[in-house]
Amino acid sequence: MKRKKVVSKTVPLGYAWYTLPPFLQGVVSLKDYREWLDLRGRDQHQRDLKLKRSYAKTNSVMMYKQKIHQAVLDGGQFDPYTGEKINWGLISKEKTLKMANFIDNGYAMHPAVDHTDPEEFGFEICTWISNESKSCMTSDQFVDFCRKVTRFRGV
């Protein structure tokens, strides 16, 4: 008896909303994208539950994946803070990453999922380095902080 190949534990192959975004065609495989989406949906949901965010209790992992996928479609090509192109080719190498050397290993442009506002159920896609820098600030707070840094540094 032949077994069916499973791409993801929770995302059936036929679900149209998990198709590969046009700008990722030829960059990553559908399998790698769905695995990335599945992992990000679960991670974000678990993190939000741990932080006791109210929307985490009322939204399932599937809802998280839908929101994240929509964020990819809405602007996942470029970092919303720097305008730099996000390197989606790195998601297929994700299993070999060493987080401690993320920047040294060239993964600063790796796609990351960021809350647009920690108090609301919404996401945007940015680079790992922007996400790490922004941390738990809202987008406006982060931009204000960057202005202060550049003003102080005379840039």
Amino acid at the residue 88: W
Q: Which alpha helices (DSSP H) does the chain contain, by range? A: 30-50, 54-58, 61-75, 128-134, 139-153
Does residue 2 lie within any of the structural domains?
no
Q: What is the mean pLDDT of residues 82-100?
A: 77
- Give me the chain's average pLDDT, please: 85
Does residue 4 lie within any of the structural domains?
no
- Please count the structural domains in the chain: 1
In this model, does residue 13 exceed pLDDT 50? no
Residue 129 to residue 41: CA distance in whole angstroms: 20
Does residue 136 lie within any of the structural domains?
yes
Closest CA to 11 of 69, 77, 58: 69
Does residue 55 lie within any of the structural domains?
yes
Closest CA to 21 of 39, 9, 33, 7: 33
Write the pLDDT tens digit of every residue in 76-87.
Answer: 999 999 999 999
User: What's the pTM value of the predicted model, to 2 decimals?
Assistant: 0.81
pLDDT of residue 103: 65
Does residue 14 lie within any of the structural domains?
no
Range of the domain at 88: 24-153
Does residue 97 lie within any of the structural domains?
yes
pLDDT of residue 41: 96
Phi and psi at residue 111, to the nearest 5°: -65, 140
Higher pLDDT, 46 or 7: 46
Does residue 36 lie within any of the structural domains?
yes
**Residue 108 binned pLDDT confidence (cut-offs 50, 70, 90):** confident
Sort 155 into a burial class: Cβ within 10 Å, 0-12 / 13-18 / 19+: exposed
Residue 7 to residue 4: CA distance in whole angstroms: 9
Of 8-12, 96-100, 134-138, 143-147, which one has max mean pLDDT? 143-147
Contacts for 135 with CB less than 8 Å, ≥ 6 apart = none
In this model, does residue 7 exceed pLDDT 90? no
Does residue 18 lie within any of the structural domains?
no
CB atoms within 10 A of CB 92: 16
pLDDT of residue 1: 46
